[in-house]
Amino acid sequence: DMGSRFDRAYAQEMLLPPVLARMEVGGLRVDASLLRRQAVDCEQALRSLEQHGTRQTGRAARPVNWKSPKDVGALLFHELRLGEATGARRLHTAGGAGKGRKMCEFQTSSAALELLRSEHPLPAMIIAHRKLTAT
């Protein structure tokens, strides 16, 4: 019955405010030195991925902006020509600048990159990079 499910959910939810209030008043203990070390480790891992990825592309003179789906798509699909054999080259249409113009870009979502992992090491590196930079 809908009413009893609502009552159970409400009762369960009402357990949370006192806990949150205690956390707000008492604060949370954070190990600042551990947090700093993890931030440094994360930055080092990102730089390592970017450097290794740039070596994989052979584009030392023109480094890739790993955060730009447009740059990643151009690199994977135009320069490296990934996805041609497997049919993983999928376009989506995005609204372009200007009056109703549309532009086509290659998909660089995690799902699209997963399809390309077997063709080249770079898609896996891009996935790892995105996981490290996720907020």
pLDDT tens-digit series, residues 62-100:
778 888 888 888 889 888 889 887 766 665 555 555 555
Mean pLDDT of 102-113: 78
pLDDT tier at 28, thresholds 50, 70, 90 = confident
Calculate the average pLDDT of the chain: 84
Which distant-in-sequence residues (6+ apart) come within 8 Å of 79 by Cβ?
57, 59
Q: Residue written as tokens 């891992």? A: 45
Span 1-10, average pLDDT = 86
Instruction: Judge contact between 102 and 96, C-beta under 8 A.
Output: yes
Residue 135 predicted with pLDDT over 60: no
Is residue 99 within 8 A of residue 112, CB to CB? The reply is no
* CB-based contacts of 56, cutoff 8 Å, min separation 6: 120, 121, 122, 125
Confidence bin at 31 (pLDDT 50/70/90): very high
Between the CA of residue 116 and those of 34, 44, 63, what are the distances in Å? 36, 25, 21
Alpha-carbon distances of 54 from 47, 131, 132, rounded to whole Å: 10, 18, 17
Phi, psi for 117 (deg, rounded to 5): -55, -35
> With a threshold of 0.85, does the pTM exceed it?
no
In the prediction, which pLDDT does 62 show? 74
